């Protein structure tokens, strides 16, 4: 299944690599943004199925609130991707879980698949081991 994915990541290299991986998998990356404000604008303008959200963005540690808002208010499925998963140790309401960076293509693929299946209500037997689920 292909999805419209928004990458929210302030490290350009990491974002670019992620974009390539997702496009290889057949997804449509509708944008890579580096701060929370631009992310909100983009999510408001266009349909987003899944957002990959880093916690430390170019405007500070704004990823957590952004992820919660996208998930709870804007109907976006949210996966956090961060080098510091301790920041979301207690979980974030309305989001799926967290993937620890650096990661690899396979982990990204399985985590994205898992999140999209959950979004569509498809039963999933178990989550990929690299993905730490909330709740």
Please give the residue ranges that form the binding site for other proteins (CB under 8 A).
Answer: 11, 13-14, 16-18, 20-21, 56, 83-89, 98, 100-105, 107, 126-127, 129-130, 132
The smaller minimum CB distance to other proteins, of residues 16 and 75, is found at 16
The smaller minimum CB distance to other proteins, of residues 10 and 49, is found at 10
The smaller minimum CB distance to other proteins, of residues 42 and 133, is found at 133
Give the neighbor-by-neighbor strand order of the sheet with 77-82: 28-33, 4-8, 50-53, 77-82, 97-100, 131-133
- Minimum Å gap between C-beta 119 and other proteins is 21
| Residue 8 burial (10 A CB sphere; 0-12, 13-18, 19+) | buried
- Minimum Å gap between C-beta 46 and other proteins is 25
φ/ψ of 66, rounded to 5, equals -60, -45
The smaller minimum CB distance to other proteins, of residues 78 and 88, is found at 88
- Minimum Å gap between C-beta 2 and other proteins is 21
């Amino acid at each position: 299944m292909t999805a419209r994915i928004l990458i929210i990541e302030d490290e350009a290299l990491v974002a670019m690599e992620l974009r390539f991986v997702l496009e290889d998998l057949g997804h449509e990356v509708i944008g890579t943004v580096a701060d929370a404000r631009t992310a909100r604008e983009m999510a408001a303008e266009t349909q987003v199925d899944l957002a990959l959200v880093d916690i430390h963005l170019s405007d500070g540690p704004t990823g957590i609130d952004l992820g919660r808002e996208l998930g709870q208010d804007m109907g976006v499925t949210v996966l956090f991707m961060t080098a510091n998963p301790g920041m979301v140790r207690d979980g974030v309401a309305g989001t799926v879980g967290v993937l620890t960076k650096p990661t690899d293509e396979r982990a990204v693929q399985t985590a994205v698949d898992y999140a999209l299946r959950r979004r569509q209500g498809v039963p999933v037997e178990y989550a990929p081991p690299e993905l730490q689920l909330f709740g």
